[in-house]
Amino acid sequence: MRIPFRSLVRLVLPSLIAACTPARAPRPVSTERPLVLPAATPLVIAHRGASGHRPEHTLEGYTLAVQMGADFIEPDLVSTKDGVLVARHENEIGATTDVATKFASRKTRKVIDGDTISGWFTEDFTLAELRTLRANERLPFRSHAYDGQFLIPTFDEVLALADSLGRTRGRAVGVYPETKHPTYLRSIGLPIEESMLRSLRARGLDRADAPVFIQSFESGNLRVLSKQTRIRLIQLVSTAPQVTPAALRDIATYAYGVGANTRQIVGGDSSAVPTTLIADAHAAGLRVHAWTLRPEPVFLGTRYGGDPIAEVQEMLRLGVDGLFGDYPDQVVRGLRR
Ligand code: G3P
Ligand code: CA
């Protein structure tokens, strides 16, 4: 029997494409319905929420990100004085809240991870005190229209929001927590990891197929976490020695993937040739999530000629498995195009 050529292509092509495509993350599932994503699309990770549009790490920013089509929302985690995890990019909150006007006298100076920093620190404030603050936009060249309006959310509130938004849209909203300053916070009796796992377990998310990735720039806490949870772990990398083939093989012993700076992927300046990071990571069995896509001239590589969509498309061409973006709408648009 002769099979028409077009039918043959339809039958065989999907298997060929699957065989030639690097191994991809199992698609996370919600507790109610499976998370359905186009097979060829990298995950869209809303970096600190839709942080190009709303002050970072606010429930409003996370919500907008999901409405824009993000697959995951990313809370960076630090601790309050009374041991509650809250979403802030760093424990110093002078640049992202109105703490300076409300608690002027509580300004102090500390050495954190080797850096001397002046400001106001979450570990010096109770949750009740932090609740009196409102979030501000960090960057001067972004809109400040929403300054002074939104609360600092707790990690539990972020999880509840993701669950609720997931049910509304009919597919899971992934959560991608990052432990910030984990060694320092443990050293002062406010460890992140146990509390983070407790919150995830309370929602039934301590599973290998949960729509959760835990990330850290430190490797010590990820190595410990790999023995405590089946949640997929992402090792953040930012230096060349961390991404040699041997280093990547070591990371693969405890992590599911790496979160790499886009510059490490494309090789740096405008004329640089892409590196072998993605191929090496995939060869080690690791996924690669790239950070951070931002369209403003101060961030966007000159190689893209001012077009942020071109960056999305280069990342897609190079085979990344996930993209962190401050403007999830742009990332979605770039992937669709
Ligand atoms: O977590 C990925 C990326 O967010 C790392 O950079 O400094 O924005 O947390 P940062
Ligand atoms: Ca982060």
Structural domains of the chain, with CATH: 43-91+146-336 (3.20.20.190)
The mean pLDDT of 16-32, rounded to a whole number, is 39
* 292 preceded by a cis bond (ω within 30 of 0): yes
**67-89 pLDDT, tens digit each:** 999 999 999 999 999 999 999 99
The CB of 215 under 6 Å from ligand 1? The reply is yes
Nearest CA, atom 7, ligand 1: 89
The pLDDT value recorded for residue 118 is 98
The CB of 236 under 6 Å from ligand 1? The reply is yes
CA torsion through residues 20, 312, 170, 10, sign: negative
Q: Which whole-number Å values give the CA distances from 139 to 55, 152, 298, in the listed order?
A: 9, 17, 11
DSSP state of 217: S
Residue 269 confidence class, pLDDT cut points 50, 70, 90: confident
Kindly give the residue spans of alpha helices, DSSP state H, lying in the chain: 5-20, 59-67, 99-102, 127-130, 155-169, 182-187, 193-202, 220-228, 245-251, 262-266, 277-283, 308-318, 328-336
* Cα-to-centroid distance, 282 and ligand 1 (Å): 21
- Answer yes or no: are the C-beta atoms of 178 and 76 closer than 8 Å: yes
The CB of 292 under 6 Å from ligand 1? The reply is yes
* Cα-to-centroid distance, 111 and ligand 2 (Å): 21
Adjacency order of strands within the sheet including 257-261: 85-87, 76-79, 178-179, 213-216, 232-237, 257-261, 287-293, 322-325, 43-46, 72-73, 174-175
Mean pLDDT of the chain: 90
Task: Please list, residue by residue across 278-299, b when 16 or more beta carbons sit within 10 angstroms of its beta carbon and e when fewer do.
Answer: bebbbebbbbbbbbbbbbeeee
Rg of the chain taking only CA atoms, in angstroms: 20
Which residue do the tokens 């430190």 mark?
218
The pLDDT value recorded for residue 17 is 35
Residue 268 confidence class, pLDDT cut points 50, 70, 90: confident
**158-187 pLDDT, tens digit each:** 999 999 999 999 999 999 999 999 999 999
Alpha carbons 200 and 235: distance in angstroms, whole number: 19
DSSP state of 122: G
* Cα-to-centroid distance, 4 and ligand 2 (Å): 51
Alpha carbons 113 and 271: distance in angstroms, whole number: 34
